Structure formats: structure tokens, C-alpha cells
Amino acid sequence: MATVIVVTSGKGGVGKTTTSASFATGLAQRGYRTVVIDFDVGLRNLDLIMGCERRVVYDFVNVINSEANLNQALIRDKRVDNLYILPASQTRDKEALTKEGVEKILNELKQSFDYVVCDSPAGIERGALMALYFADEALVVTNPEVSSVRDSDRILGILASRSRRAEQGDPPVKEHLVLARYAPDRAHRGDMLTVEDVLEILGIPLLGVIPESPAVLQSSNAGVPVILEDGSDAGAAYGDLVERFLGKDLPHRFTMSQKKGFLKRLFGGS
Amino acid sequence: MGLFDYFRSPPSKSAALAKERLQIIVAHERGSRRSSPDYLPALKKELLEVVRKYVPIDQSQVKVHLDREGGCEILELNITLPDEEQRLGPQR
Ligand SMILES: Nc1ncnc2c1ncn2[C@@H]1O[C@H](COP(=O)(O)OP(=O)(O)OP(=O)(O)O)[C@@H](O)[C@H]1O
Ligand SMILES: [Mg+2]
């Protein structure tokens, strides 16, 4: 039976879609049948990040409304086997996502996939609640910055009280912290919250630290999930994150300041 | 602290301030989140028992949810009854 994973944050623009795209791609690369769903009704970004925007014919809401079936709406990724995208609708009608409709589609997807990744919209309104309601596990994406950490804490409260697991008294949604846009140098200087600070405040296990990286913008320009960019720091960090999710015990990279000290700069060496 | 750290600007206290403010606000918000729902599971269980005296329902059909808006708390109860046939079936 498939595992449903929501990628959520509360605050907008912290890296949920970037994370959803790379996480789903990484799972599929490792042989798991994976589908990633864009819950951001009205905005629709995931297809752009995945580079399949011109292949969108039907969307999530069409399937809920039985205007298309799942096979018509699912887009098969051209680069990675086992990877499918279910795009969001551009409709303005936020009521289009009903709990019953979402449940029906998720149940159908769970028949044929190992992992269902739900890219949540920002906020704590309907769309975000729908994206997390059916989750078994959650990737809580946080930036090392006060409003993002606070919003993540609120999302953790919602996962613990308003998810289906909470409502039915099932074991709680398994929580993972993804600390994104981390700048080790700035944290080291005391200008930015450190990994340890954020962990201490949120108190959930750390799945990965994604460095602030120009590769993320470059890959989104090209419509390629950054995990596929060989040699990029953010891509490697997402690769490690996927391995950890699948149970490997890997040390966290990209958390140390890379700046060379004064001496090293003077005398070279690496 | 190494000798060459003297050449750098002193470490900023900016992140320390952020952490302190976050710890306070998060503790406060968690407090108000937690201060009531502990009786909700018991309430739900008893509700289930009462309703079951009249209609056979299962646990997933009772939803209890507590919301706060401003200073006001709203207790939301949602009980889904089974279809007519299922309800009458076993009792006839
Ligand atoms: N590790 C990173 N390094 C640099 N830029 C990043 C990183 N992660 C995300 N970004 C940039 O931040 C912006 C927002 O990213 P993204 O769309 O993934 O966030 P989101 O949480 O999905 O936003 P929304 O809440 O609007 O859905 C994008 O411009 C993206 O390129
Ligand atoms: Mg997004």
C-alpha cells in the first residue's frame, strides 16, 4: 500500500515545490513508482518546475469532477521512469477540492504507486488542509528565519490535530524537517539561525539541509528538478535527503561554513 | 577563539535574538493549542456510546473538533449516520 507524503510549510515561498519535485524525482530514480500532485489550485507551479507544462491536458480538478480519468490526466515524466505528475487546476474556485474528491483520487493512486507526494500550497486554508489531511508522513519545509519557523510550528500543530490520522486516533503523521535555503556562512557569523537552533525550537527529526544555491534558480529556469543537476550542491543535498528518507544513515553535508579562513586564503591549500 | 578571528568582525547577535523571540512565541502558541483538547477523546468516546444506543455507527463517523477564534472557542461535532438500509437492516 502506498505512502502519502505531504510537503508543507505554512509560509509561502520557502521551497515546497522545489522540494516536492526533487523528492519525487529521487524516489522514482531509485525505482519506486511515484506520483507528485500539485495541490496549489489556481496557481499551478509544479509542472513548470518539472518541465512538463506544455503537456498538461487535464488536471486534478477535472479528475475529481469526472471530466477526465486519472490515466488521461497523469503526465509521465520523460527523463525518469516510474515518475508521474498530476497538475493543479487553474480554476479560481477553491471549493473545487472536496475531501471526498481528494480521497477518491488518492485511493485510486494508492493502488498503483508506492509513493504519493502532495505539494501543498502556502497558508493554512482549505488547499493546505486538503493536501495534508490524508498524509501518512510530512516533510515540513522551513527556512532559517523567524516567520518561517513559527509557521512550521503551526503546521505541526495542525498535523497533530486536523489530519485524518489525528481525527481517527490512528498513529500520528510522521514528521520530517527539511531546512531549506540554508547559508552556513551567515549562520556561522550569527546572522542567521543555525540548524541546531531550528531543531531545538521545532523538535522534530531533521531529514535534510538544503543549502541556498544558485543551482535552484538555474534548474527551475530549465524545468529540471535540481536533484538531476549533477554536481550541484542543492541537488546532492536532495539526493542525500531521499536516501535518508529510505532509511540510510547519512551525515548532513552543507551545514558547515565553506569559507576559507584568513590563513588558508593567504597560503592557499584546501 | 583563534588568533586570526581578531581580524573578523565580532559575531553578530542577530540570530540569538531571533531564537529567543521564537522560543517565546512558540511556547505561547503551543500553550494555547494544548490547553483543552485532552478531554476531547473521552468526549468523543462517550458520544459514540450514546449515539450507538440508537444507531449503529463506528468510530470514524464521529468527528469532534475544537477551534479558537479570537477569545472564543467553537466545539464542532460531526456525526455521519449510515444509510437508511444499513440502519434498519439488523434491527428488523
Ligand atoms: N535552496 C534554494 N536555494 C536558492 N533558492 C531557492 C532554494 N529553494 C527554493 N528557492 C527559490 O525560492 C523560490 C520559491 O521556491 P518554491 O516555489 O519551491 O517555494 P514554495 O514553498 O513552493 O512557494 P509557494 O508557497 O508559493 O508554493 C523560487 O524562486 C526558488 O527558486
Ligand atoms: Mg509551491
Secondary structure of A24-74 in the HEC alphabet? HHHHHHCCCCEEEEECCCCCCCHHHHHCCHHHCCCCHHHHHCCCCCHHHHC
What is the rounded distance in angstroms from the CA atom of residue A184 to the CA atom of residue A209?
10
The one-character DSSP state at A163 is S
What are the cell numbers at B87? 440502519
What is the rounded distance in angstroms from the CA atom of residue A62 to the CA atom of residue A59?
5
Per residue in A215-268, pLDDT tens?
999 999 999 999 999 999 999 999 999 999 999 999 999 888 765 555 555 555
Would an 8 Å CB–CB cutoff place B24 in contact with chain A? Answer: no
For residue A217, the one-letter residue type is L
SS3 A97: coil
Residue that wins the pLDDT comparison between B56 and A25? A25
Q: What is the mean pLDDT of residues A205-214?
A: 97
Ion ligand 2 neighbours (CB, 5 A) are A 16-17, 45
The one-character DSSP state at A123 is S
What are the cell numbers at A139? 516533510
Residue A235 near residue A229 (C-beta atoms within 8 A): yes
Phi and psi of A159, rounded to 5°?
-60, -35
Interface test with A, best of B22, B39, B47, B68 (most A CBs within 10 A): B22
Taking only Cα atoms into account, the Rg of chain B, rounded to an integer number of angstroms, comes to 26
Rounded to the nearest angstrom, the minimum Cα separation between B10 and chain A is 8
Verify whether ligand 1 is closer than 6 Å to residue A180 (CB atom): yes
State the first-to-last Cα distance of chain B, in angstroms, to the nearest integer. Answer: 84
Phi and psi of B19, rounded to 5°?
-65, -45
In this complex, the residue of B4, B18, B65 whose CB is nearest that of residue A262 is B4
Look at residue B35 in the predicted model and tell me its pLDDT: 56
Local confidence band at A269 (pLDDT 50, 70, 90 cut-offs): very low
Atom of ligand 1 nearest to the CA of A19: 18
What average pLDDT does chain B have? 76
Residues 6+ apart with CB under 8 A from A180: A14, A15, A18, A19, A141, A142, A143, A210
- B68 Cα distance to chain centroid: 11
The one-character DSSP state at A260 is P
- Output the pTM of the full model: 0.83
Q: Return the closest-CA partner of residue A3 out of A35, A30, A26, A25.
A: A35
Residues 6+ apart with CB under 8 A from A197: A144, B15, B18, B19
Query: ipTM score of the complex?
Result: 0.82
In this complex, the residue of B16, B23, B63 whose CB is nearest that of residue A190 is B16
Contact A193 B25 (CB under 8 A): no
- Dihedral (Cα; A125, A131, A147, A194), 10-degree rounding: 170
- Of the segments A13-17, A62-66, A159-163, which one has the largest average pLDDT value? A13-17
Look at residue A96 in the predicted model and tell me its pLDDT: 85
Per residue in A93-127, pLDDT tens?
778 889 999 999 999 999 999 999 999 999 999 99
Contact B37 A201 (CB under 8 A): no
Verify whether ligand 1 is closer than 6 Å to residue A41 (CB atom): no
In this complex, the residue of B25, B37, B60 whose CB is nearest that of residue A161 is B37
Look at residue A196 in the predicted model and tell me its pLDDT: 95
Taking only Cα atoms into account, the Rg of chain A, rounded to an integer number of angstroms, comes to 19
Per residue in A161-189, pLDDT tens?
999 999 888 999 999 999 999 999 999 99
